[in-house]
Amino acid sequence: QQRRQQHRWHGELRMMTSSPEILDVADSSCGRVNGTYSEFRMPRPDDVPAYRMIDKNGEFQGMYLFRSAGKWLFSCEFDPASRKSYVKAADKAQCPTKVVNWKLKSRETKHQGNDRIKVQFLEIGALSVKARFEANAAWQSRFEPTRWRCTAKGCPGQCGIKAARHWGLWSQVALLQHLNYFHRGSPQYFALHRDLWDEDDFSAEAEIIQTEEELFEQFGASMLQHGYDQHKLEGHKKRLRWIVAKLGVALNKQLACNAGVLHEIEDWPEDQSTKGHYSVSFRWFQKWVENCAVEADIWVVYLKEARHK
């Protein structure tokens, strides 16, 4: 199916399709760039697509094809402002398949010169089932590589969030939030935590007065934004409601600051008989409050900098 929006590509209007364009790259003297590439960024007006290598198992690789300063290039980093490359077009062309001459700039062999590389369009049906699925998923999700990638050992096997590992999060704060939710013991978490965490901000965040329903809504929205399972989330909400009812208080952020609350929950027979289900749900709530504090601190810094500009 085709969408109604259009954009300029190949020098003329092209209809935006529901599946990405696929390229086959072969015969380059730099073997690292040879392979299959899938378009990964939704085209925008007056923009051109970018491509990322994908293997037959559906795993995206660290090689990109995009246009920088009017010329197409292959690079291991996606940065449209960069001119570093393995292979680069010698002429400016609207489409990578229309490039007449390619120049090899191998970092491994120090060789430079003309490259016999061939770049051709490929039908998406030619991909393996796994590769086709992942290519379409990346296209529909509008994934775009960022520098805020999760490098924790258990990602994505532990968290199930492939995009965090292979594409990256939308900001440094989002990366710390992801690590706090899913990979709290990783070296990357501790490094970012040292840079962004402020205990005073955490205490200030806990003082903010909100209704119980507002807290549940925001807690759920944050968890879902970070890819948490909806069914499991509802279980946490249900147990949190039971916890505050037994404590005889309304849900509030100050509970997350009180270490004694978690210890009390862990001593309950209900928690012990369910192998810690109630204390686990409360720990998820604590993590969310911590993530709120980090995000609030970044906004304060941003606003201060904006005032001084």
- The string of pLDDT tens digits covering residues 198-238 is 888 888 888 989 999 999 999 999 999 999 999 999 999 99
Q: What is the pLDDT of residue 81?
A: 82
pTM of the model: 0.83
Which segment of 73-82, 136-145, 243-252, 297-306 scores lowest on mean pLDDT?
A: 297-306
Q: What is the pLDDT of residue 113?
A: 84
Residue among 85, 88, 41 at smallest CA distance from 63: 85
111: which residues sit within 8 A by CB, 6+ positions away?
29, 104
CA contacts within 13 A on the Cβ side of 46: 0
Is a pLDDT exceeding 50 seen at residue 305? no
User: What does the pLDDT look like over 44-87, one tens digit per residue?
Assistant: 545 678 999 999 999 999 999 999 888 999 999 998 888 789 99
Give the whole-number percent of the chain exceeding pLDDT 70: 86
